[in-house]
Structure 1
Amino acid sequence: MFHYKAFGLEISSEIELPGMIEGSGVPDVKIIQGEVDQSLVTGAEVEGPNYLVTGQDVYLWWDEIGKVRISKGELVTVEPASDLESADELNLIPFILGPVMALMLHQRGFLVLHGSAVNLSHDIVQSNGFPSAVAFIGHRGNGKSTTAIHLYVEGYPLVADDILAIKFSEDGKPVVFPGYPHVRLSDEAYHQVKRHTDILTPIRTLAGKVFCDASHEFSLEPVNLERIYVIEKVQPDDGIKTGIYVLKSQETLIDLIRHSVANRIFQHTTQKDNLINCSQLVNNVKIKRLEVVHSFDDIHDLVSAIEADLE
């Protein structure tokens, strides 16, 4: 059994998961190997091409990769399509660390957004003593991880990549629980970043993504969420430079709902709670549009624009 810690939870797993912080406490979540048969489920509340929701269970499956059942936010049962020792079957791991973990966190009451975040502790510490973070959300391929790793290279510690797990403090302020001390980059993005830094170490390549160590100054302490940027990617030859723009409140709420885990999988079953959480986030965090050019010729423009926006 392997023991890890992420998102403020102790996790024990029968499957080795790369690039995670070692844990030691009584597990809040267990990941085991076992049989998963979604065909036996009747009366599904929500059903899609590769998922279904029934009661306190969520079932996911991927052709030639495997099946998963997530129960009550406490137990994850994994049935690989083949032996986990095989190179092909290792492609199941990104799904465990990605959508499976995101849905498990949703079951545990987190507001879960698809996004990345970095720590601004060098610059901003709020009144409760927690450091602050900025987060990046956006459509797949718009550069959430790439933006985060650009800032990481410039000295801003990573908080989360791909999964933003948010809860609200007693005074209603959003707090991000740090995930894994690694980022997943496309091969192109990895080589672009690697040419300009010696602090990015690849851990493993899985499902076409390069898992890169980003553990420098990584902390498992919760982080106040100071700002959310909705990323829109622009091309260098468009003549547009990196810029930050104000969004209308209606636009920000729609963007949050669109990028929340509950929006697609759970639909009507938890949509009311999800809407309330997204509305609370809009009321407590400034959300802006960030137009970015992902080129190291423009990296200082990106960092300077964010730093100036936070002043």
Structure 2
Amino acid sequence: MKRMYRAFDFTISSSLVFPELCPAHKSVDADLFIEFDDLKPLWDEKTAKNYHFVANSHSVMFQIPSTGIFQITDGRKIIISPFSGADNGAIRLFVLGSCLGVALLQRKIFPLHGSSVVINGKAYAFIGESGAGKSTLASEFIKLGYSMLGDDVTALTFSEESVPVVTPAYPQQKLWKDTLQAFGEETSRFNPLFDRQTKFSVPARDCFENHTMELAGIFALTKVDHGPIRLSQPSKIDQFKLIIKHTYRNFFIPDMGLNQWHFEMVSRIVKKLAIYSIERPSQGDFSAPFIASQVLEKVEQLQRLKVIQMERGTL
């Protein structure tokens, strides 16, 4: 039985049930299909035994031990070939993460590795490596009454007027046990991410923004060995490096033939957006409330500056 969902502005027809996704009207035509098939013969034909993935301009195929083989083609089809005994939660995790991330790349939608929230009618993204605190900081903003556009992947495009916009992902967060406990939540209320008892799937339907929003700024979270929390604006070359580094699943890009597109998109992002770095110590408390207050102060400055530029006609 096929089920219809919405995510990243895709209407998805799926043979696999996804409780994380918003349902779509069955009368709407699908533009992305998720199906099961046996990929092992093709995998053995296309790869050497020590390969983790194989990619070209039309297709990406990768293997996850104990889970399965996945193939994404032309941003339109995801094929799942599960291994015997594979955990269903693990399969969904990789489909909603790497597979949809590749589908975005194939459609030339820029995937930032980060969470995004809506502040005063504009989207702001928090990017960084796994464990940097992206989802925790987004949760702090949700706690303060703001809405979210996505967790882990922020889908970015440019409008015909060259305005950077974020397309909503789906209403779920992935939060560490320590984060949930810090927010006073009982972990027993949530499902762990397959065999990981330290990270949980947290529904976020009540605070999910399902409309495309203009992206007004990016904050890159970085762990440092010691020192105080520090918010700064890096040089343009360092901003460029940050966006390159935090492009979701960027290791697929060369084999997909997207190096030139990637370079051009990163250049546009750096030119159009305010990009900041937030350094925070790797040890001790994360201090999400303090970082959120610093971000809000910076957002207010950006919005005041934009009003002044509009009044002067220099925007």
Band of TM-score, shorter chain: 0.7 to 0.9
Tell me what 1:305 maps to: 294
Mapping of residues 157-168 of structure 1, within 5 Å: 157-168=147-158
Q: Does 1:39 align with 2:44?
A: yes
Contact conserved, 2:89 with 2:193, CA < 8 A, in 1? no
Match of 2:161 in 1: 171
- The match for 2:254 is 267
Provide structure 2 residue ranges, at least 5 long, that are not aligned to the other structure: 301-315
Instruction: Provide the C-alpha distance between the structure 1 equivalents of 2:72 and 2:241, rounded to a whole number of angstroms.
Output: 27
- Note the C-alpha offset of 1:273: 0.3
Structure 2: how far apart are the matches of 1:244 and 1:95? 33
Matched, 1:104 2:94: no
Deviation at 1:307, TM superposition (A): 1.0
Task: Check if 1:251 corresponds to 2:244.
Answer: no
Which one-letter code corresponds to 1:105 in the other structure?
Answer: L
1:73 Cα deviation (Å)?
0.5
Say if 1:297 and 1:70 are closer, same or farther in 2 by CA, change over 3 A.
closer
- After TM superposition, the score normalised by the length of structure 1 is 0.86
Which residue in 2 is equivalent to 1:211? 201
One of 68, 71, 93 as aligned partner of 1:69: 71
How much is the aligned-residue C-alpha RMSD, in angstroms? 2.5
Q: What residue is the counterpart of 1:127 in the other structure?
A: none
Report the Cα distance in structure 2 between the residues aligned to 1:187 and 1:71, rounded to whole angstroms: 35
* CA drift at 1:119: 1.0
Q: Normalized against structure 2, the TM-score is what?
A: 0.85
Q: Which residue of 1 aligns with 2:139?
A: 149
Q: Which amino acid aligns with 1:133?
A: A
In structure 1, distance between residues paired with 2:77 and 2:115: 25
1:58 aligns with 2:60: yes
Please state how far the C-alpha of 1:2 moved relative to its aligned partner: 1.8
Any conservation in 2 of the 1:58–1:71 contact (CA below 8 Å)?
yes
Contact 1:203 1:213 in 2 (8 A): no
- Gap change, CA 1:166 and 1:300, over 3 Å in 2: same
Quote the residue 1:126 is aligned against.
none
Counterparts of 2:50 and 2:111, CA distance in 1 = 20
Structure 1 residue 256, shift from structure 2 partner = 0.6
Where do residues 18-33 of structure 1 align in structure 2 (5 Å cutoff)?
Answer: 18-24=19-25, 25-33=28-36
Residue 4 (structure 1) aligns with: 5
Q: Is the 8 A contact 2:117 2:124 kept in 1?
A: yes
Equivalent pair of 1:18/1:203 in contact (CA under 8 Å): no
CA distance in 1, matches of 2:176, 2:7: 23
Give the match for residue 13 of structure 1: 14
1:300 partner amino acid: P
Shift of 1:282: 0.6
Measured in 1, the distance between the counterparts of 2:235 and 2:248 equals 22
Question: Which residue of 176, 182, 185 corresponds with 1:186?
Answer: 176
Q: Which amino acid aligns with 2:66?
A: E
1:268-283 alignment runs, 5 A limit: 269-283=257-271
Question: CA offsets per residue over residues 229-281 of structure 1, 9 Å max, x none?
Answer: 1102357xx562x3310110000111111111363112161100011001101
Q: Structure 1 residue 203: deviation in Å?
A: 4.7
**Structure 2 CA distance, aligned partners of 1:18 and 1:151?**
24
Aligned-residue offset at 1:162: 0.9
* Number of aligned positions between the proteins: 290
Q: How far does the alpha carbon of each residue in 1:176-202 deviate from its partner, in whole angstroms, 9 at most, with x for none?
A: 111011111122222222x1x69x962
Shift of 1:293: 6.3
Q: For residues 131-187 of structure 1, what are the alpha-carbon distances to aligned partners after superposition, in whole Å with 9 as ceiling and x for unaligned? A: 311101112211111111121111111111111111101121211111011111122
Return the alpha-carbon distance in structure 2 between the equivalents of residues 255 and 48 of structure 1: 30
Q: Percent identity?
A: 25
